[in-house]
Structure 1
Amino acid sequence: MSETGSASAGVDAETLAELAKRRGFYFPANEAYGGASGFYTYGPQGAALKRNLEASWRERFVTREGHMEIASPTVTPEPVFEASGHLDGFDDMIVECPECGTNHRADHLVEDATDIEEAEALGTDRVSELIADHDIACPTCGTALADEPVSGFNLMFETNIGPGSASPGYLRPETAQGMFVEFPRLAEYARNQLPFGVAQVGTGYRNEISPRRSIIRVRELAMAELEQFYDPETDHPPLERVADVSLPLYSAAAQERDGEIEHFTVEEALDTGVVANDWIAYYLGVAAEWYASIGVDMDRFRYRQHLGDELSHYASDCWDAETELDGNWIEVTGFADRGTYDLSQHDDHSGEEFTVFKAYDEPETVERPSVDPDMSFLGPEFGSDAGRIAEELQGLAERDPSAFEGADVTVELDGEEYTMPTERTGFAVREETIPGEHVTPHVIEPAFGVDRLIYTVLDHSYREDEVEGESRSYLSLAPDLAPTFVGVFPLMDKDGLGERAREVAADLREAGLAVTYDDSGNIGRRYRRQDEIGTPYCVTVDYESLDDESVTLRERDSTEQTRVPIAELPARLAALRAGGPFER
């Protein structure tokens, strides 16, 4: 996933990193042993936020779309990646400092020192020239990097499966290949009926040259990917569901003319040809609505189309969903048209069939040229080559039936010609009833970076204001995403208030709500703690509660409060979690 360009700034990275560490969203892993860059631990709040975001993604892209979900292994045998092309093409550009030995992403150095947004697409030779032209130095020690070689570095983590090195494998860099490799069985589960989708939420591993910007660029990353299998001749998405959804598109054409983001509805984008594939347009629309629902600021969001020279080896078109973070546009999702590349590659390399049989509405009768060679002639005449010659005769009959019109027919094998009487080939054009055909499905892949979406949600939901003369920072998280949904406090932990508050908290947990109990410090400080982790609502048990069995319910963003009977509290909070209004 790429990082590009600049845009309007939001909360600065240092403030967000400090909040994330202090409040338990995420922090560098294994710090007791010095840690290793590119690895992060999600703390209690972050793990809950991640779980809620993944649940929201599943609900929208799996459950509501009627797709399947699988969970494949993270360790994958080497032949899978030979077939997929990852062993040859999953590289980033690396340059090593001759003085301190530090390795750097060469294209990132160029992007940081120039106005170039996608140096990755320029190739190693051009990036090397730019490093020299702009006198780019090592960020670690300041040594000039001009004339230092820029080369490709494969990002996959290699391992061995079992003892020794006879069975090499790799930690998967993406979840996609697990879905492609299992396609024959998954197609059976789908009753060989296209279209169908397969999703997977899981972990990928990329040995990044220079991890940076906390969880934006890491070596172990969380992904949520969907593979939509379809036949472009017959299968089309339900575009009417998203036809009027507005898309902020930054097309390749607009980028080439230094243009701006243009807004189209899904329908307009297809009608004007700005988006060529109707399945991509459909998922751009579905995703745009979902991004807004989880708290992405759509004024700091765009879909950017890949330029021709930056497309991956498997893609004929790709649009990145990008969010503005700390003055930069960061890719959070890629929507790629992978065509038949992956299934065709695995079909060629595995010996299995990666196709779907599609029956015709009515069986078709066709005339098909074929041969039935007289092996009693071919054997004595051509010896050990007879079998291969018979195969070549069948191929020639399919390619060029007119070759059998003469008295003799000639085939070529390993550069040598073999001629035989046509009557000995058994050539004939026979009628055959065809019930259907084997089709290699096309694939559209929306691939979501979960970590980057978490960072985006935290960044875009961060707010600062003033409450009763005091400055406050809080996270305006969507209720169904917030790690904790409601905080329960006793006004003070005496006179039975603590006991009653703990009973209220227990009842709310029984109702299926994520609850935290806090009796430490004054009530204002407790509110601020919950505001800062994005808890939408807080409940306070006070002396009045002991008399009339009601509590104070406070809303996070507005800080408004209302009294609610304790007996009605679970239903009231459930309605708020479902999106209902906060009423005083």
Structure 2
Amino acid sequence: INFKNVVGVSRQKIPFGIAQIGKAFRNEITPRNFIFRSREFEQMEVEYFIPPGDDVWGEFHEQWIQDSKKFLLSVGLREDLMGWDVHEGDSLAHYARACTDVTFRFPFGEQELMGIAARGNFDLTQHSEGSGKSLDFFDDQTKEKYIPHCIEPSLGVDRLMLALICSAYAEDEVGGEKRTFLKFHPAIAPIKVAVLPLLKNKEQLVSVARELFEKLQMRYNVQWDAAGAIGRRYRRADEVGIPFCITVDFETVEDDAGVTIRDRDSTEQIRVPLDEVIPYLSKAIDGF
């Protein structure tokens, strides 16, 4: 709908895209499967406008399929749970030239996660006929006037979040006990770091830990946890997918030996000097 305004204001040249994300509503008769199917959900999509021509749309459509795959893998979706459903024949909308759905194998079955459709010029033609306004585009290079065709990748954010949780869920055994944890990609983990003073009743430990906590808060969403045994605190952090736990112990304050940083996935621990904690985390999280 905003095609004409965007072209007029931003002076974009084809090909270009308009991306949006927002709340959508549907009269869903049977909401089910947690947040997979609901009446209110978050939707994100791109309307990518391209020149007409049988030799053009296929290349753009394939490029969007590959870019979508790279994006989904980059945020932590498990490739072994992903599938590709290519619509053909009667399953293809009458106006569409091609459509490929990205599917995901949820615990309740394989379901659609994302669609990438080559919709031809159907959308702009319908808007033009309905509004009585011309939505033709004049190409300065070819000196042609035409109604652009459109590639539309569309993704349900709620479904993606559910797929990410399913991808991240993991179990292993540590010290003879079962451990359940979420292997969130560090870039999307809601909480990046947990700061843990070894003992909450030792002021020298708490003060150093609190100072570090406040510094890290300026960069990341950080959790403070001083209650309970250190092992139990590690488990709590693992269960909500915190990638790194930082422990301030007596070696930190008495021997200037730095802090202990524990990796969520491997459970390995290393000592890092206090002044190197932020560079270490920056490399581990931002450069993941």
TM range (shorter): over 0.9
Rounded Cα–Cα distance in structure 2 between residues aligned with 1:508 and 1:457: 26
Rounded Cα–Cα distance in structure 2 between residues aligned with 1:234 and 1:302: 27
**Aligned: 1:575 with 2:283:** yes
CA shift, 1:232, in A, is 3.1
Alignment partner of 2:23 out of 170, 187, 203: 203
2:118 is paired with a residue whose SS is strand
How big is each residue's C-alpha offset from its partner over 1:544-580, in whole Å with a ceiling of 9 and x where there is no partner? 1112051000000000000001111011100001335
**Aligned: 1:218 with 2:1:** no
**Aligned: 1:302 with 2:83:** yes
Alignment partner of 2:47 out of 227, 233, 254: 227
**Aligned: 1:562 with 2:270:** yes
1:429-440 counterparts in 2 under 5 A? 436-440=143-147
1:8-27 counterparts in 2 under 5 A? none
1:216 is paired with a residue whose SS is coil
1:295 is paired with a residue whose SS is coil
* TM value normalised by structure 1: 0.47
Rounded Cα–Cα distance in structure 2 between residues aligned with 1:560 and 1:231: 53
**Aligned: 1:477 with 2:184:** yes
Q: Is contact 2:82-2:104 (8 Å) kept?
A: yes
CA shift, 1:360, in A, is 5.4
Rounded Cα–Cα distance in structure 1 between residues aligned with 2:19 and 2:155: 11
Structure 2: which 5+ residue stretches go unaligned?
none
Corresponding position of 2:105: 324
Alignment partner of 2:158 out of 443, 451, 462: 451
Amino acid at match of 2:71: W
Alignment partner of 1:349 out of 117, 120, 130: 130
Corresponding position of 1:536: 243
Structure 1: which 5+ residue stretches go unaligned?
1-180, 237-275, 362-435
After superposition, the Cα gap between the structure-2 partners of 1:553 and 1:360, relative to the gap in structure 1 and judged at 3 Å, is closer
After superposition, the Cα gap between the structure-2 partners of 1:524 and 1:476, relative to the gap in structure 1 and judged at 3 Å, is same
Corresponding position of 2:60: 279
How big is each residue's C-alpha offset from its partner over 1:43-99, in whole Å with a ceiling of 9 and x where there is no partner? xxxxxxxxxxxxxxxxxxxxxxxxxxxxxxxxxxxxxxxxxxxxxxxxxxxxxxxxx
Q: Is contact 2:189-2:241 (8 Å) kept?
A: yes
Rounded Cα–Cα distance in structure 2 between residues aligned with 1:555 and 1:456: 23
Rounded Cα–Cα distance in structure 2 between residues aligned with 1:444 and 1:578: 31
Alignment partner of 1:521 out of 228, 239, 257: 228
**Aligned: 1:334 with 2:115:** yes
1:224-263 counterparts in 2 under 5 A? 224-233=44-53
Runs of 4+ in 1 over 6 A off after TM superposition: none
Total equivalences in the alignment: 286
Amino acid at match of 2:267: T
Q: Is contact 1:229-1:442 (8 Å) kept?
A: yes
1:352 is paired with a residue whose SS is coil
Corresponding position of 1:131: none
Alignment partner of 1:550 out of 236, 246, 258: 258
Amino acid at match of 1:287: S
**Aligned: 1:499 with 2:280:** no
How big is each residue's C-alpha offset from its partner over 1:474-509, in whole Å with a ceiling of 9 and x where there is no partner? 011100010001000000112221222111110111
CA shift, 1:190, in A, is 4.1
Q: Which structure's CA Rg is the greater one?
A: 1
After superposition, the Cα gap between the structure-2 partners of 1:192 and 1:501, relative to the gap in structure 1 and judged at 3 Å, is closer
* TM value normalised by structure 2: 0.94
Percent identity between matched residues is 40
Rounded Cα–Cα distance in structure 2 between residues aligned with 1:442 and 1:463: 43
Rounded Cα–Cα distance in structure 2 between residues aligned with 1:321 and 1:543: 51
Rounded Cα–Cα distance in structure 2 between residues aligned with 1:499 and 1:309: 67
**Aligned: 1:460 with 2:167:** yes
Amino acid at match of 2:130: H
1:559 is paired with a residue whose SS is coil
Q: Is contact 1:195-1:235 (8 Å) kept?
A: no
